[in-house]
Structure 1
Amino acid sequence: MIRFHSANQIAAWLWVACILQVLQDTPLIVFSALCILAALCFCPDRCWRTLKRTRFLLLAIALVYGWATPGQYLWASPWSPTEEGVLWGLLQVVRLLGVLAALQLLLWRLNAAQVFSGLYALLTPLSWLGLNRQRWALRLSLTMSFSAELLLQQNTLSRNDFLQRLAEAEQPGELQEVSILVESLSFFDLLLLFALLGAVLATLLMMV
């Protein structure tokens, strides 16, 4: 069984997210449905919990597109949504659901140390620019871990509670030594990583 480096798995998620931004109509619905079905199959608890947490965001997206996009009114009233707005709103909701489902699959497969290792490898170009990629990778991994911890909580935090928790997390505390094993990239990992990153760049260029 081939074991893929965590950097390749993160790059694959980026590729999926870019593809979902490019696809439209039926291909978008089919591709998003495949991502959602995979998430429901392998990590249903994470998937349903994420859907519950983002339901108001999804509803807001549908409403904004439905009433803010010009086009043919669904019924004879100035307060009516447009056909084009409803269609675009539903497509955006499907697109976001696909991205979230793919992200849950990624976080289901990788633990915090693997996320750091993958980000550390992906941020290698920062070291060429003289920037500290260890700091960037650690900040990103801690942010993802903090978000995952909040997601696992049973009770929904209010805005004030969330800001308070965030402020407490940013307060300086006792210095602790953190040891994280960074996986080495094999030749096969490097080939796959460059292929995935090339696909991501090509997809981004298609979006311009």
Structure 2
Amino acid sequence: MLVHTEGIVFSTVKFKETSIIVKIFTSAYGMQSYIVNGARSQRSKGKIALYQPLSLLDMVVYYKEGKDIQRISETKFAQTYTEIPFDPVKRTIGIFITEVFGKVLREEGENSVLFEFLFNSLQIFDRLRDNVANFHLQILLKATHHLGFGPANADDFVLQLSESGFHLSISLEEKKSLDLLMESNYGENIPLSLSFRREVLDHIIKYYKVNSGNLREIKSLSVLKVIFE
């Protein structure tokens, strides 16, 4: 069955001599694996560029229920980035959120609301000029509501972690900042110290680990922390 869908690329691995297997979170079917024959061949005319992490794609795919690896009939960029692949800070944040969501969404089925949230958030991120350093915190916090385990507010966030064995020492002012991260639009000014930004990130990762069984080690985390020093 041929189906039109949009997708977000999360990972690509080499397969045989010239092919790849790519994991794409689609609007129609959730996370799917696709084989792309000849993507790395000299005659592919840059086809591999379509399948870089976080690429936003417009696709026509073959879908067969119960099949582990599907095939793509046609694909093109739905939107192209002007900054994420080239700006060092945005690229590092992009690598981090690719790894986190790639693991969290590994078994995610069709979730069109979550897909639209991520698709739109990434486009905003590419255009973002101000307060870029808070983007990864905000997208992770906001995404929890589309994943089914969103906290009502900062107090609820702290309470859920406490009930899971993580007792946080957080001031009233820091709770206000956490609420702002959850509620504010991307790019709005939310002053955070370097130390508190790191603490919030660690708390968010703990929160995801408590609520998602797929998130374990995050290899890109150390690089992300270095870039904000």
TM-score (norm 2): 0.25
Structure 1 or 2: more helix by fraction: 1
Bigger relative contact order (CA 8 A; separation at least 6)? 1
Structure 1 or 2: more strand by fraction: 2
TM-score (norm 1): 0.27
